[in-house]
Structure 1
Amino acid sequence: MKLLRGIALCAALAGVCAVQAQVAPSTAEAARYQGLHAAAQAGDAARIATLAAQGADLEVRDDRGRTPLHVATFARQRGAIQALARAGANLNALEHDRYDAVTIAAVANDEETLRLLLALGASAKQVTSRYDGTALIAAAHLGHSGVVRQLVAAGAPLDHVNNLHWTASIESIVLGDGGPRHQATLQALVDAGANLQLADHDGRTPLQLAQARGYADMVKILEKK
């Protein structure tokens, strides 16, 4: 019964995470943007440079606390991201729900934008979101194995424990579907040396969680360690 309750909790939390993840600007919001926010949304790097030279506030916020960098990341406007970085924008700023550009790109499975942000100096190590998680945990939850490998290479903390008492390895199991994407994600974490003895609130290790959910391929990955 305890196990069934735990699985039900995982399923419920998966829905919560989906609902409460970072929110991209809506079409209506984007239409109201002015200044740097408008330039970031449109990918107008020249306008960003002009406004920055005129002293525009690079950290100006919209109603949800998004800076122009957040907006450019949501819009996959990499030229705008480069222009903002050159002008001195904070690459690690958090919006109102405590998401940074790295986590936004990670959740979107936008490997190219993530690669740019990391190359420009954005951190893969920040604690983000209301769950006190990381970009790595968010990517593992969603089965974005390429993103996971990028973040690991950039020094993301492999064994960070969020306020649900889950690591990236645990989230790849309890919030995954056991399929190829999440298998590849777990393999990436195992290859990187994640601590597979860290357990959830109920004392269950990643191996025990995979066994309980009947994820045979994940069990094989974990039993090899």
Structure 2
Amino acid sequence: MHDRNRRLLAAARQGDAQEIRAALDEGASVETRDEEMRSPLLLASLGSHVEAARVLVAAGADPDAQDHRHDSAWLVTGVTGSVEMMRVLLPADPDLGLRNRFGGISLIPASERGHVAYVRAVLRETGMDVDHVNDLGWTALLEAVILGDGGRPHQEVVELLLAAGADRELADADGVTPLEHARRRGFDAIAALLGDA
């Protein structure tokens, strides 16, 4: 690997926008990869380095470039919950249906983790499929109930998903609905949102 590409990857990892510009000016490839197949933009996204990502997007970086784990700069925003990063990447026209290693789109890990601001923004600002089903047979709504803690953030995520038209009857691979999962876990507030009397 050329030194300028190494320099670019290091700068992206550290979030050094000025150093990124310098490496690109020297001829570094905006799509160079590290040993994990991570692109500079993915490294910037993982670190929530917004200014660094802005420079890379302006240079034409691909928000959908996936590494060995099937992570991409766009998919990682659902994990970190960074609304600012999401908005920096949107002009790069990311594939909203791109799947992570679990077959999920960015909305699913965001819902699982209770990233309320991100879920609100991504539902409002994109045409993302609110009922996308991952390889486990789970939607964002199911993940928010099954993997959430039932607290206020996850309640708000459920509210947002329902307001966006999420199908509350869409069951998991075993035929268990979000409402049944909420009841089993003792999440009374979420069960009420899902229509429990």
What is the TM-score when the length of structure 2 is the normalising length?
A: 0.89
- The residue aligned with 1:208 is 180
Name the aligned partner's letter for residue 173 of structure 1. V
8 Å contact from structure 1 (residues 161, 167) kept in 2: yes
Equivalences for residues 56-205 of structure 1 within 5 A: 56-128=28-100, 130-153=101-124, 154-205=126-177
- The residue aligned with 2:192 is 220
C-alpha distance in structure 1 between counterparts of 2:48 and 2:181, whole Å: 36
C-alpha distance in structure 2 between counterparts of 1:120 and 1:90, whole Å: 7
What is the TM-score when the length of structure 1 is the normalising length?
A: 0.78
Structure 2: runs of 5+ lacking an equivalent: none
Secondary structure class of the residue paired with 1:34: helix
C-alpha distance in structure 1 between counterparts of 2:150 and 2:35, whole Å: 38
Deviations 1:58-78 (A, max 9, x none): 111111111100111122222
Name the aligned partner's letter for residue 125 of structure 1. G
Deviations 1:47-91 (A, max 9, x none): 333433443221111111111001111222222111111111111
The alignment-based identity, stated in percent, is 38
Name the aligned partner's letter for residue 169 of structure 2. Q
Name the aligned partner's letter for residue 121 of structure 2. Q
Residue 119 of structure 1: CA displacement? 4.0
Residue 120 of structure 1: CA displacement? 4.1
8 Å contact from structure 2 (residues 119, 157) kept in 1: yes
Residue 216 of structure 1: CA displacement? 0.6
Give the CA RMSD over aligned residues: 1.8
8 Å contact from structure 1 (residues 69, 89) kept in 2: yes
Within the candidate set 37, 40, 48, 2:20 is matched to 48
- The residue aligned with 1:39 is 11
Secondary structure class of the residue paired with 2:194: helix
Task: Specify which structure has the higher proportion of helix.
Answer: 1
Deviations 1:23-48 (A, max 9, x none): xxxxxxxxxx9221022123333433
Secondary structure class of the residue paired with 2:24: helix
Deviations 1:166-220 (A, max 9, x none): 0000010011111111111111100100111111121111112112222110111
Deviations 1:102-147 (A, max 9, x none): 221221122222222224433433212x211111011111111211
8 Å contact from structure 1 (residues 60, 68) kept in 2: yes
Between Structure 1 and Structure 2, how many residues are aligned? 191
Name the aligned partner's letter for residue 149 of structure 1. R
C-alpha distance in structure 1 between counterparts of 2:134 and 2:102, whole Å: 6
C-alpha distance in structure 2 between counterparts of 1:152 and 1:131, whole Å: 21
C-alpha distance in structure 2 between counterparts of 1:124 and 1:144, whole Å: 17
